[in-house]
Chain A
Amino acid sequence: MQALFGQLLIGLINGAFYATLSLGLAVIFGLLNIINFTHGAQYMMGAFVAWFLLTKAGIGYWWALLIAPIVVGALGILIERLMLARLYKLDHLYGLLLTFGLALIIQGLFRNEFGSSGLPYQIPSQLAGGMNLGFMFLPIYRAWVIVASLIVCLSTWYVIERTKLGSYLRAATENPALVQAFGINVPRMITLTFGFGVALAAFAGVMAAPIYQVNPLMGADIIIVVFAVVVIGGMGSIMGSILTGFGLGVVEGLTKYFYPEASNTVIFVVMVIVLMFRPAGLFSKEH
């Protein structure tokens, strides 16, 4: 029973990464209708920016949490302005193909430059060590991961669903022409939203750097899982992707305990079942 508590908690921690990443995807899809396949590569770039800041400039983890999302978000904005903006009139698939191609190129370039084994990044000294909870040893850094991603996820949800800014955003997706007629710069809002979604990926990347190696391939696998999370939660549903992220982290954690061989497929099994019975996803508003 004690072991089970430990596994539940571990699942929540991994779920925190899924939630933060799928939230970024959901924001971008929900408000821009772009299926952003570069999300994994941007997550990886966030970790790399943190690594660069530390090894080349001596700038530590805490600043990296702020700087990396800004840098990677700015690069995202560049991609949106220069490339994606040309595809808005076309089918979703074109955006998907473009971002997928970009992801492969970015990952290939990083792998070529930095190899496949990854680079070390230490846990910041303030968060090193752990505490004994009785049923498990909880590294402080992992506890921080849950807290930080909950804060980020819930604030994002609040801004989009409960504030005036959020209502503009949502209105702009429903009827951009009308919102523009009220004097709101819709293209700029869309660009900034894309930048924000990308910044969320980079934020998750910085959070992941001390746990996993800073590795060019770190985003390649997780992006597939995260897409499954978004599909299960319902494309574009903000709260849906947060809840599904944490929930599926727990499901995966339990699978690692009861039947570890299936732990990297269980999420897809859930996806298939959900698609069969609720094709729009668990939390989708469309029916």
Chain B
Amino acid sequence: MNVLKHNLLALAIAGTFAAGVAHAQISDNIIKIGVLSDMSSLYTDLAGAGSVAAAKLAVEDSGIEKRGFKIEYVSADHQNKPDVGSAIARQWFDTDKVDVIVDVPNSGVALAVNQITKDKGKVFLVSGAASSDLTGKACTPNTVHWTYDTWMLANGTGTAITKSGGDTWFFITADYAFGAALERDTTAAVQKAGGKVLGAVKAPLNTQDFSSFLLQAQASKAKIVGLANAGGDTTNSIKQAAEFGIVKGGQNLAGLLVFLTDVHSLGLQTAQGLIVTNTFYWDTNDQTRAFAKRFAAVDKGIHPTMVHAGVYASVLHYLKAVEALKSDDGTKVVAKMKEMPTDDPLFGKGTIRADGRKIHPAYLVEVKKPSESKAPWDYYKVRSTIPADQAFRPLAEGGCSLVK
């Protein structure tokens, strides 16, 4: 198991300040943040080491260490396996005194960690995982789902494309919890907007060759081929769709979850014109640009994806709640996080709902043509903004037991 341990202790500073400050409610006087992510496979670039960097930037910006709190980090690779992720989460909570687990791309792993966190009464800040079930039927009083979810993606991309004429769909779906949730939510959005779903095919996670699936999509004669997958699966399917002349044959691609790093990897020549729903783009304002610059400096030049931004913002808000409460009791902290309005440089002002859903606007963006892009990572132009109160699934429709 690839466990990196980082103890970034500003011990000297903390020691002097801590002398007079009583943190009786902080367990063992240390707030321990566990970043559980994909450190070695298809989601590494969009989360991975960048998520650890984002968590550290958040701690730095919170200034909490200067006020006498001690912060420690651990990080680990869940290998996209729910059993591996569960074992790490249990070990972290039971023996390593971890207070909060963040990120966890891969909905399968996230759903497992979600349950464990609830059982242990700790905190789970989801950024990388997408399944809307995390704030729906699987919601817990210990989980906050920050960045995005499958309902939001479906509602953004699915509705926009269906309304602009793409009213028949065929899905290529990643065969695990995430893909199933994304296909289900998009199907609902397409049907609501008056469209029809003609079929779907389930592709195993981390497939290299999508040509068989693309042929099936072609044969379906659907106007839109919806890609309910992520990371390397998305880039491979987009690249091979170009090869098989999907778009030239009159069909269009809808990448339901495309990250900035995917676009970077594909290159604008292949990715241009894709319509993507996002909740964060680094080139939005001075604050996001400043963050991107600092982030790129510590993550090999990679510009932050919305997952990285979500890790940063959720950790920042978590620390505020811990400080306000003077306690790191998981259930209480999450209640406090929901009570306090959120405000951070990346997502602006927002709120966290009773079901754990963080609310902020979403952006429907289009990938630029090579001629429109002025610098590396200059990839998106915003087509429209979906206001915060419409971007996510209405509270009453999720079936979360915390909603009364």
Task: List the interface of chain A (C-beta within 8 A of B).
Answer: 3, 6-7, 10-11, 13-14, 111, 115-120, 122-123, 129-130, 136-137, 139, 141-142, 211-213, 215, 217-218, 221-222, 253, 256-257, 260-261, 263-264
The 4 closest A-B pairs by CB, nearest first: A256-B212, A116-B44, A117-B265, A120-B267
Which residues of chain A have C-beta atoms less than 8 A from B264's C-beta? 117
A234 to chain B, nearest CB (A): 25
**Chain A residue nearest to B44 in the complex (CB):** A116
Which residues of chain A have C-beta atoms less than 8 A from B245's C-beta? 129-130, 137, 139
Q: Do the beta carbons of A116 and B211 come within 8 Å of each other?
A: no
Q: Do the beta carbons of B244 and A139 come within 8 Å of each other?
A: yes
Residue from the list A6, A116, A136 in contact with B232, Cβ < 8 A: A116
**Chain B residue nearest to A107 in the complex (CB):** B40
Q: Do the beta carbons of A260 and B206 come within 8 Å of each other?
A: no
Question: Complex: how many Å from CA A123 to CA B239?
Answer: 10
Task: List the interface of chain B (C-beta within 8 A of A).
Answer: 40-46, 48, 175, 201-204, 206-209, 211-213, 215-216, 218-219, 231-232, 235-236, 239-240, 243-245, 249, 261-262, 264-267, 269-270, 300, 302
Q: Do the beta carbons of B41 and A263 come within 8 Å of each other?
A: no
Question: Complex: how many Å from CA A111 to CA B261?
Answer: 14
Residue from the list B207, B212, B270 in contact with A253, Cβ < 8 A: B212
Which residues of chain B have C-beta atoms less than 8 A from A14's C-beta? 209, 211
With A136-B215, A137-B218 given, is the CB distance from A122 to B269 under 8 Å?
Answer: yes
Which residues of chain B have C-beta atoms less than 8 A from A141's C-beta? 243
Q: Do the beta carbons of B175 and A137 come within 8 Å of each other?
A: no
In this complex, which of B211, B219, B232, B239 has the most chain A Cβ atoms within 10 angstroms of its Cβ? Answer: B211
Which residues of chain A have C-beta atoms less than 8 A from B239's C-beta? 120, 211-213
A99 to chain B, nearest CB (A): 20
Q: Do the beta carbons of A117 and B261 come within 8 Å of each other?
A: yes
Which residues of chain A have C-beta atoms less than 8 A from B267's C-beta? 120
Question: Complex: how many Å from CA A264 to CA B233?
Answer: 14
- Would you mind naming 18 contact pairs between A and B with Cβ atoms under 8 Å apart? A111-B40, A115-B44, A115-B45, A115-B261, A116-B40, A116-B231, A117-B42, A117-B45, A117-B262, A123-B243, A130-B243, A139-B243, A139-B244, A211-B239, A260-B212, A261-B175, A263-B203, A263-B204
Which residues of chain B have C-beta atoms less than 8 A from A120's C-beta? 239, 265-267, 269-270
With A13-B211, A137-B218 given, is the CB distance from A117 to B244 under 8 Å?
Answer: no
B324 to chain A, nearest CB (A): 38
Q: Do the beta carbons of A137 and B45 come within 8 Å of each other?
A: no
Question: Complex: how many Å from CA A114 to CA B232?
Answer: 14
A62 to chain B, nearest CB (A): 19
Which residues of chain A have C-beta atoms less than 8 A from B207's C-beta? 263-264
A120-B267, A137-B244, A264-B204 provided; 8 other pairs, C-beta below 8 A? Answer: A6-B215, A10-B215, A14-B211, A117-B42, A120-B266, A139-B244, A212-B208, A212-B209
**Chain B residue nearest to A7 in the complex (CB):** B212
Which residues of chain B have C-beta atoms less than 8 A from A11's C-beta? 212
With A115-B44, A117-B45 given, is the CB distance from A3 to B232 under 8 Å?
Answer: no
**Chain A residue nearest to B219 in the complex (CB):** A3
Q: Do the beta carbons of A130 and B208 come within 8 Å of each other?
A: no
A6 to chain B, nearest CB (A): 5
Q: Do the beta carbons of B215 and A118 come within 8 Å of each other?
A: no
Q: Do the beta carbons of A221 and B232 come within 8 Å of each other?
A: no
**Chain B residue nearest to A116 in the complex (CB):** B44
Question: Complex: how many Å from CA A72 to CA B40?
Answer: 24
Question: Complex: how many Å from CA A95 to CA B208?
Answer: 28
Question: Complex: how many Å from CA A136 to CA B211?
Answer: 11
Question: Complex: how many Å from CA A130 to CA B43?
Answer: 32
Which residues of chain B have C-beta atoms less than 8 A from A211's C-beta? 209, 239-240, 243
Question: Complex: how many Å from CA A256 to CA B48?
Answer: 30
Q: Do the beta carbons of B45 and A116 come within 8 Å of each other?
A: yes
With A117-B261, A217-B41 given, is the CB distance from A137 to B249 under 8 Å?
Answer: yes
B320 to chain A, nearest CB (A): 32
Q: Do the beta carbons of A10 and B40 come within 8 Å of each other?
A: no
With A3-B216, A116-B44, A117-B45 given, is the CB distance from A260 to B208 under 8 Å?
Answer: no
Which residues of chain B have C-beta atoms less than 8 A from A137's C-beta? 218, 244-245, 249
Q: Do the beta carbons of A115 and B232 come within 8 Å of each other?
A: no
Question: Complex: how many Å from CA A221 to CA B61?
Answer: 40
Q: Do the beta carbons of A213 and B243 come within 8 Å of each other?
A: no
Question: Complex: how many Å from CA A115 to CA B300?
Answer: 9
Which residues of chain A have C-beta atoms less than 8 A from B302's C-beta? 115
Question: Complex: how many Å from CA A77 to CA B46?
Answer: 36
Question: Complex: how many Å from CA A10 to CA B218?
Answer: 14
A207 to chain B, nearest CB (A): 13
Which residues of chain A have C-beta atoms less than 8 A from B45's C-beta? 115-117
Which residues of chain A have C-beta atoms less than 8 A from B261's C-beta? 115, 117
**Chain B residue nearest to A137 in the complex (CB):** B245
Question: Complex: how many Å from CA A129 to CA B243?
Answer: 7
Which residues of chain B have C-beta atoms less than 8 A from A10's C-beta? 209, 211-212, 215
Which residues of chain A have C-beta atoms less than 8 A from B218's C-beta? 136-137
